[in-house]
Structure 1
């Protein structure tokens, strides 16, 4: 067994069973069944009920509560802060997102599934991790691993973006306090702290790039088993803040050396508090970014603060780029949209989510975007950031911003940040990929796995290259990100695959391939069907980044593609080129996205055939154009990933046809006798930087908030309203769904809303079921996702069902039992049933009967005086049980007292005592 040094928790990997441990508690690598529960406040745990009503063990318990069953898991050590969401699995089956307790030593959720009452095992796992039964096998070599170890890259760039430029770099820091700014999205105060990288001697205003780290441990250096502080931030006593914001020196210095201003900001307060945030902290992170830009507005114009006049006239806030790592990726995507919602105060023109989370299916229209996906990500291991690209690529008609994904084989989640990397960080850190040995394709001894410095070199090249290209329009860097897979020398042996969508002005879309093809489009022994979440059949959903549901928008449809299957070499899929679109001489390539079917052969092939108006054709085998139709490496639970990649046919390779009169593009099955491929996004394009700017002209979409009293009878309908900030001349659509702990009161609603031209308001009706039982208020959300021709503003509508039933009064009666009855039961009676557990606690006091001789509260040694009792939800009667000791001695009746000291969920005037009588049976 080896320790993964990094988290302040004791985190181990057992090489035999491949399970994670925190203290003595198992952290399973649970298969995510992805049912889409949200992060909403959970009630505190009630006392453990009787074994016949729940399942329980020493460290977990399952209780009946209003609306379902509360599952609580206690931990010996604090749950680690990760970018993925904490998830509970019961007997290897994920049941939902868990809420951390204040001291982070327990997690809980409420499930509607009564099967949890039969639980044998409860584990903490993480969104995107593999199989939850703790029996994960070691990853095996995949059938195509050898192909990827010798994979080809494109031509080397003459200008290596990982190399230093002509400016020396000056660094400095600012710290305005640990609680310097209030973040409404967090309802807490945050630090304002950053590290600045400036090009020495550069004149005039320079583009500004802001880096935002992800969710990591907040403090280090203290005793994690000691008393929990009053609040998780700021760090107190011997605890010191982890400087995650200092972990991006490589790309920051590369950019600054080429004349860009860079600031990397700290977000420890958000990491400390975001387990209570309705959106996992995306809004708060966006607010923090804009708060720092507010500071730089002052410092670059009138000066002041820690820098005086040093940066006056040196920062161009009309040309801003944002990089966010992990949950920081969600944050910078939201910041770009929030900035547009606020009128585009800052010229945010480029966004790079690095190994990001995407919990709510946001789109980022109008700005250039590149999403970096580390293939061996052991934290956000479902690569959910892929959906930023999928959802944004056609989100706005005529969007002229380019976007891309950058898949880095052999890269993990943490090593992009040196403060999260063992041997480089000041605080404990770890390799988030948890396998050992030479497992394919991510084990640390595997030939294709990148060492930390190798991975950081890749991060430097692509981060610096992206912002130089998009903010500085340094077009010599286009081959790095245009899909032609140009190689930066500094990235060494790294295998990187880029999928790119050119700006609208540089692209002619032939077919998105997400709708059924017209009759006659497919001939021969081939068939084409449109699929989405049913496209691939795998045991582990984390292998399907395009199709894994988002946690806060689980009902929103995922990417639609065409699935082409054939059983003969005569199959043809034909896409015609419309009149007026047939001259393609201005384009550089014909491209489409493709992937081999997960259940088929590990590699396959097609011919790409282009036909002109004279019937002449040029045909190119897809296999000669790259490895898009070769399955990605690995054969374990989490790999291979089923990712669509680019087949790029250079226009110059289409010999002998009239490129001014192209009539059709055909995909032919003449290369292999049978196969299946997934297809998307067929277009002609040429590389370009496009035009990027805040999408201020788009109408803004918002969901209202709803607060309603539960009522006593029947079902009432309550209305959310989704609104547009102004009428649109074209239809605007968005998906809306209820999310969170809906309990038994709130109905599940999910639908697509379409605003017709001129329409600005649409009603979403949610049914609320009433009752007469006392219960807790119920918070839930209406989540908006994947808008088309609109911009998300208030994308979470907050719902609150207010319980309006009186708290029942409670009575505890005296009790008498013979000493051989084993148990004496004090009766508890409620004035009315409740939807909550109603419990009492207190202390047993000796009378003529003595603790340990005649009675004890529980089957414990030494005997305990503490007792509890309860009434189950929906019932009016319960008991306090006291164990009796049969001593075989003839004696008179004896008494003791049960003094009630606390009541939860009911009303009883305290102090209150009741007498128990033990009669002799000898």
Structure 2
């Protein structure tokens, strides 16, 4: 993927369009002084999706596009000259990048039917208690609405509604744990506007339209939780959806602010009362026991809210976060709080399952982190159907199945055997959302097997095949190796190699490590997809084991202080087959004690982690996901568990193969301890403003600061992002703060010139911190143009009647990086419009067109302002008419400016 390129302050004025250098009936390319402006025009508004809109030229994505208010045009600025010779320009989405072209350029993958294997996939034992079943309390519901523009969100620079639906356990005594639900990016308004206008704002809904109630779409899990004694508030975020295409981070900060604003309301309503409920909720909510569920972009919002709450001292006790089919555009981490990421295998919106990176990036982000985390992979589930207001047949407004394609195609077609119906998917969502919060907020430990990687299941989840990958809390876990660094000399023997890898080919990240796999379809590699706002940050490192004989051994030696494993329940690691390897693969895990006694367990006997995921090699399938291998310690008969010396991965099962492995540990399930990570230092990037300068390259310094000194090293990735053009350097750094160090400098080169330009905004993005939280994770940069605005010089015209189209003299006093545009009207003198002359914009039908416009291209000093002279065979005296220029953009001209055209007869 490339760096996100947003058209910002430098967008062109509306008075006149610059010339076109390439076009079709749906797109055009116009030159700029420092690149090109590419615009795609759509017949209908682009859908409101969680993924970012990209413009793809001849199969290559160039960057994130800026959407117009009506979402019918998408524009980006690029310096890539490929656009000049473009043949095909189309809208694609960040979440499923490569899907459109992957049928012809798919990965070199093993063949062999695995779809049938997943239809009869192993299922874990049933939970003795079902979290999807209603509890003993009757559920009371209520709604509140404080207005469409009740609160200002700084992260959005707009005002938002404060609206929500409340689910309460009737008759419950004392303060209850609180769960806030946040929906994702969906259409905002339904219906047709009474008075459509080109400049109509997307929020509040215009007359004739009504807000779409996405916040009402989670009745299932909300009711299940409330009936078991929990308070649930599901909030509306339509304003954020309406305006987030202008937000520097696609709205993550704004969604987090909205959550905290609602919690602040409930702090008042549950203590002193007031608002729409009077004293009804006084003493009923425990805001030190809070969970957050966020769907789609709401998933990134709840992750950011947990960080923001900790940054502000932990004013609310946010202890559990569940991102549901989330986006992750900036690679943030969520330390300190319990987290479970739900990944629907048939997600047709966030098709790359980028939420997997929340787990990958957080699992070792903070030393001593005592919170548990997991991922829940739901086979057969799509993106939308977790919300009934996004589900056809259930929603009040139009909705759709986000998984497109052949309805009979396995495993995700709507009529394929492995696909869940909407109600089945909602039942799974209810079971896992309710089970997670009851476990983490209510310490109802009967639901622990649902999230510990043993794949225990709720009866209410029905036929769903679910795979859980879990990281146990640190107190009940001993890590042997993360498999993200090279193994010691002598650890590998026989015909096998063990290579640390990260990423896939064709991404923007140029890592020092070899890539893990080759693919043109990034949607099938969730661990290695790059984030659009942190595209140069390295992705998850794992070890790739490749063998060509049955004698291969990869040995992990157990240090003396870790050899007694009697207190642990299982040996666990993550594994996945290499898609370019053999169709069937397997490994043997061999545990050896100090006396040389060993127990050997085939991976295939305890897990299907090495079974290739289902789906043909297109549309982002099959996914290549690491899954859990879990070997019960109690099953290791004959081994002295007080003296385990090594764990071996042996290739004796299959003569040739390749697989990925990660995260080898002995562990036991546990709820752990979770709370806002208020003790961690906070990382922030400064904001900078710099003058462009006149020549050469100079620099500007961002400062990345820690809120306080740390006793251990802190690290973070930092990179420039935005419409950098040729003025701002492309910088990527890995910053390491030594103990006691509180600031580091990131120097960004700035290229100056003497041409008048637009001010250029850009960002310094912080991502994947270690042993710290992100506070101000986006540093805002602004390159201010410091060159004088040139003067526009226009002259009169003398022409002969036979000359046809003629040009006025148009000059700039100096070249500019802006397109200079100007416009006005034509006025008759002795010459009469349509008899002696007419506008070049007049096609001869309807009333005469008197409007006239002209321009000077960026980088040039001569421009164009044209008028058409009409020739006839009549002998006439010399005639005149005028062009009165009334508006100008990008240059200095005193208006109105009257220009005279003198026509000499040639008959």
Q: One fold, TM greater than 0.5?
A: yes
The structure 2 residue matched to 1:672, chosen from 646, 654, 665, is 654
Between stretches 303-312 and 37-46, larger displacement belongs to 37-46
Shift of 1:892: 6.5
> CA 1:160 to 1:845, structure 2 compared with 1: closer, same or farther past 3 Å?
same
- Partner residue, 1:119: 86
The structure 1 residue matched to 2:636, chosen from 654, 667, 670, is 654
- Partner residue, 2:129: 159
Q: Counterpart of 1:729 in 2: which secondary structure?
A: coil
Shift of 1:442: 1.1
Shift of 1:104: 3.0
Q: Is residue 2:402 matched to residue 1:463? A: no
The structure 1 residue matched to 2:840, chosen from 854, 857, 868, is 857
Shift of 1:513: 0.5
Shift of 1:473: 1.2
The structure 2 residue matched to 1:604, chosen from 585, 588, 596, is 585
Per-residue CA shift, 1:274-308, capped at 9, x if unaligned?
Answer: 11111111111111111111111112222222222
Shift of 1:462: 0.3
Per-residue CA shift, 1:32-84, capped at 9, x if unaligned?
Answer: x4434468555245643334xx1123442222224321112233333332211
- Partner residue, 1:67: 34
- Partner residue, 1:43: 11
Q: Is residue 2:490 matched to residue 1:520? A: yes
CA distance in 2, matches of 1:613, 1:212: 53
- Partner residue, 2:811: 829
CA distance in 2, matches of 1:755, 1:583: 35
Q: Counterpart of 2:528 in 1: which secondary structure?
A: coil
CA distance in 1, matches of 2:628, 2:490: 26
The structure 2 residue matched to 1:712, chosen from 694, 697, 701, is 694
Shift of 1:102: 3.2
Per-residue CA shift, 1:302-357, capped at 9, x if unaligned?
Answer: 22222222222211111110000011111110111111111111111000000111
- Partner residue, 2:865: 880
- Partner residue, 1:3: none
CA distance in 1, matches of 2:117, 2:195: 48
CA distance in 1, matches of 2:802, 2:113: 69
Given that residues 193 and 207 in structure 2 are in contact (C-alpha distance below 8 angstroms), is that contact kept between their aligned partners in structure 1?
Answer: no
Shift of 1:823: 3.3
CA distance in 2, matches of 1:852, 1:661: 104
> CA 1:919 to 1:673, structure 2 compared with 1: closer, same or farther past 3 Å?
farther
**Runs of 5+ in structure 2 lacking a partner?**
504-514
> CA 1:48 to 1:792, structure 2 compared with 1: closer, same or farther past 3 Å?
same
Q: Is residue 2:65 matched to residue 1:82? A: no
Given that residues 130 and 637 in structure 1 are in contact (C-alpha distance below 8 angstroms), is that contact kept between their aligned partners in structure 2?
Answer: no
The structure 2 residue matched to 1:144, chosen from 114, 133, 138, is 114
* TM-score, normalisation: structure 1: 0.93
Per-residue CA shift, 1:631-682, capped at 9, x if unaligned?
Answer: 1111123111111111111112212111111111111111111111111111
Given that residues 574 and 663 in structure 2 are in contact (C-alpha distance below 8 angstroms), is that contact kept between their aligned partners in structure 1?
Answer: yes
Given that residues 574 and 665 in structure 1 are in contact (C-alpha distance below 8 angstroms), is that contact kept between their aligned partners in structure 2?
Answer: yes
The structure 2 residue matched to 1:387, chosen from 357, 366, 379, is 357
Per-residue CA shift, 1:159-185, capped at 9, x if unaligned?
Answer: 111111111111111112222222111
- Partner residue, 1:591: 572
> CA 1:277 to 1:42, structure 2 compared with 1: closer, same or farther past 3 Å?
farther
- Partner residue, 1:109: 76
> CA 1:866 to 1:574, structure 2 compared with 1: closer, same or farther past 3 Å?
same
Q: Is residue 2:382 matched to residue 1:415? A: no
The structure 1 residue matched to 2:346, chosen from 356, 372, 376, is 376
Q: Counterpart of 1:835 in 2: which secondary structure?
A: coil
> CA 1:38 to 1:472, structure 2 compared with 1: closer, same or farther past 3 Å?
farther
Q: Is residue 2:442 matched to residue 1:472? A: yes
Per-residue CA shift, 1:15-38, capped at 9, x if unaligned?
Answer: xxxxxxxxxxxxxxxxxx443446
Q: Counterpart of 1:757 in 2: which secondary structure?
A: coil
Between stretches 654-663 and 453-462, larger displacement belongs to 654-663
CA distance in 2, matches of 1:288, 1:398: 30
Per-residue CA shift, 1:397-454, capped at 9, x if unaligned?
Answer: 0111000011111111111000111111111111111224201221111111111111
CA distance in 2, matches of 1:135, 1:670: 35
Q: Is residue 2:169 matched to residue 1:199? A: yes
Q: Counterpart of 2:608 in 1: which secondary structure?
A: coil
Q: Is residue 2:876 matched to residue 1:909? A: no
Structure-to-structure mapping, 1:145-544, within 5 angstroms: 145-223=115-193, 226-228=196-198, 230-533=200-503, 534-544=515-525
CA distance in 2, matches of 1:736, 1:768: 17
The structure 2 residue matched to 1:642, chosen from 601, 624, 635, is 624
The structure 2 residue matched to 1:633, chosen from 607, 610, 614, is 614
Q: Is residue 2:789 matched to residue 1:789? A: no
Given that residues 719 and 766 in structure 1 are in contact (C-alpha distance below 8 angstroms), is that contact kept between their aligned partners in structure 2?
Answer: yes
Shift of 1:842: 2.9
Per-residue CA shift, 1:883-913, capped at 9, x if unaligned?
Answer: 5556677767665433323222111121223
Given that residues 39 and 275 in structure 1 are in contact (C-alpha distance below 8 angstroms), is that contact kept between their aligned partners in structure 2?
Answer: no
CA distance in 1, matches of 2:432, 2:293: 11
> CA 1:224 to 1:430, structure 2 compared with 1: closer, same or farther past 3 Å?
farther
CA distance in 2, matches of 1:176, 1:208: 20
CA distance in 1, matches of 2:270, 2:247: 33
Q: Counterpart of 1:303 in 2: which secondary structure?
A: coil
Between stretches 584-593 and 86-95, larger displacement belongs to 86-95
> CA 1:820 to 1:652, structure 2 compared with 1: closer, same or farther past 3 Å?
farther
CA distance in 2, matches of 1:74, 1:882: 28
- Partner residue, 1:899: 884
CA distance in 2, matches of 1:673, 1:171: 61
CA distance in 2, matches of 1:261, 1:135: 45
Between stretches 181-190 and 73-82, larger displacement belongs to 73-82
Q: CA RMSD in A?
A: 2.2
Given that residues 482 and 662 in structure 2 are in contact (C-alpha distance below 8 angstroms), is that contact kept between their aligned partners in structure 1?
Answer: yes
> CA 1:241 to 1:436, structure 2 compared with 1: closer, same or farther past 3 Å?
same
> CA 1:42 to 1:263, structure 2 compared with 1: closer, same or farther past 3 Å?
farther
Q: Is residue 2:546 matched to residue 1:565? A: yes
CA distance in 2, matches of 1:564, 1:224: 63
Shift of 1:230: 4.5
Q: Counterpart of 1:456 in 2: which secondary structure?
A: helix
Q: Is residue 2:713 matched to residue 1:698? A: no
CA distance in 2, matches of 1:212, 1:710: 42
> CA 1:861 to 1:547, structure 2 compared with 1: closer, same or farther past 3 Å?
farther
Given that residues 545 and 661 in structure 2 are in contact (C-alpha distance below 8 angstroms), is that contact kept between their aligned partners in structure 1?
Answer: yes
CA distance in 2, matches of 1:474, 1:912: 78
Given that residues 842 and 898 in structure 1 are in contact (C-alpha distance below 8 angstroms), is that contact kept between their aligned partners in structure 2?
Answer: yes
CA distance in 2, matches of 1:138, 1:268: 38
> CA 1:617 to 1:884, structure 2 compared with 1: closer, same or farther past 3 Å?
farther
CA distance in 2, matches of 1:569, 1:131: 37
Q: Counterpart of 2:436 in 1: which secondary structure?
A: helix
- Partner residue, 1:801: 783
CA distance in 2, matches of 1:869, 1:881: 7
The structure 1 residue matched to 2:703, chosen from 721, 725, 734, is 721
Q: Is residue 2:640 matched to residue 1:686? A: no
The structure 1 residue matched to 2:58, chosen from 91, 97, 102, is 91
Between stretches 66-75 and 753-762, larger displacement belongs to 66-75
> CA 1:105 to 1:117, structure 2 compared with 1: closer, same or farther past 3 Å?
same
CA distance in 2, matches of 1:188, 1:724: 29
CA distance in 1, matches of 2:900, 2:735: 63
* TM-score, normalisation: structure 2: 0.94
- Partner residue, 2:508: none
Shift of 1:828: 1.2
Given that residues 130 and 540 in structure 1 are in contact (C-alpha distance below 8 angstroms), is that contact kept between their aligned partners in structure 2?
Answer: yes
Given that residues 38 and 739 in structure 1 are in contact (C-alpha distance below 8 angstroms), is that contact kept between their aligned partners in structure 2?
Answer: no
